[in-house]
Amino acid sequence: MKVFGRRGNYAYACARVKARKKFLLSRDVYSRLLLMDVHAIGRFLGETQYRDEVTHYASRYSGADLVEVAVTRNLAETCSDVLSFTTGRLRNMVGNYLRRWDTFNVKTILRGKVSGAQQDEVVDTIVPAGAFSEAYLKSLIAMESTRAVVEELTKHPSLRITPEVEREVVEAGKLASFEDHLDMMMYHDLLDVIEPTNNATKLLRDFIRREIDVTNLKVLLKLKAEGLPEDKVHKYLIQGGMEFRMDRLRTMAQSTGVGQILEELEKSSMYETLKPSMERFKEDQRLSGLTIALDEALIRTAEKFGRFYPLSVLPIIDYMVRKKTEVDNIRIIARGKERALSNEVIEDLLVM
Q: Are 258 and 221 in contact (CB under 8 A)?
A: yes
Q: Which of 42-51, 194-203, 244-253 has the highest mean pLDDT?
A: 42-51
Instruction: pLDDT band for 200, please (50, 70, 90 cuts).
Output: confident
Cα 38 to Cα 337: distance, rounded to the nearest angstrom: 6
Q: Which of 250-259, 299-308, 324-333 has the highest mean pLDDT?
A: 324-333
Question: What's the structural domain count of the chain?
Answer: 1
Give the number of other Cβ atoms within 10 Å of residue 43's Cβ.
12
* % of the chain beyond a pLDDT of 70: 99
pLDDT tens-digit profile of 36-76? 999 999 999 999 999 999 999 999 999 999 999 999 999 99
Lowest mean pLDDT among 24-28, 96-100, 284-288, 335-339: 284-288
Residue 4, pLDDT score:
40
pLDDT tens-digit profile of 207-239? 999 999 999 999 888 888 888 777 778 888 899
Local structure of residue 261 (DSSP, 8 states): H
Whether 108 is in a domain gets the answer yes
pLDDT tens-digit profile of 257-267? 788 889 999 99
Instruction: pLDDT band for 301, please (50, 70, 90 cuts).
Output: very high
Residue 2 scores a pLDDT above 50: no
Residue 310 scores a pLDDT above 70: yes
Backbone angles phi, psi at 171, to 5 degrees: -90, -40
Distance of CA 145 to the CA centre of its chain: 26
Q: What angle do CA 334, 336, 338 make, to 5 degrees?
A: 70
- The stretch 19-38 carries a mean pLDDT of 96
Cα 232 to Cα 216: distance, rounded to the nearest angstrom: 14
Indicate the average pLDDT of the chain: 91
Cα 251 to Cα 234: distance, rounded to the nearest angstrom: 10
Residue 291, pLDDT score:
92
Residue 317, pLDDT score:
95
Q: Are 130 and 97 in contact (CB under 8 A)?
A: no
Residue 49 domain boundaries: 10-349
Whether 170 is in a domain gets the answer yes
Whether 97 is in a domain gets the answer yes
* % of the chain beyond a pLDDT of 90: 67
Top pLDDT among 169 and 351 is at 351
Whether 4 is in a domain gets the answer no
Whether 2 is in a domain gets the answer no
pLDDT tens-digit profile of 108-163? 999 999 889 999 999 999 999 998 999 999 999 999 999 999 999 999 988 898 88
Residue 102 scores a pLDDT above 60: yes
Alpha helix stretches (DSSP H) within the chain: 10-21, 27-34, 38-45, 51-57, 63-84, 88-98, 100-115, 119-123, 134-142, 146-153, 163-170, 176-193, 199-225, 230-234, 246-253, 259-266, 271-284, 287-308, 314-338, 343-349
Lowest mean pLDDT among 36-45, 173-182, 270-279, 314-323: 173-182
Local structure of residue 25 (DSSP, 8 states): P
Instruction: pLDDT band for 173, please (50, 70, 90 cuts).
Output: confident
* Closest-CA residue to 242 (of 276, 207, 275): 207
Residue 207, pLDDT score:
93
- The stretch 237-247 carries a mean pLDDT of 92
Write the single-letter amino acid at 52. D
* Closest-CA residue to 181 (of 200, 167, 195, 197): 167
Cα 182 to Cα 42: distance, rounded to the nearest angstrom: 34
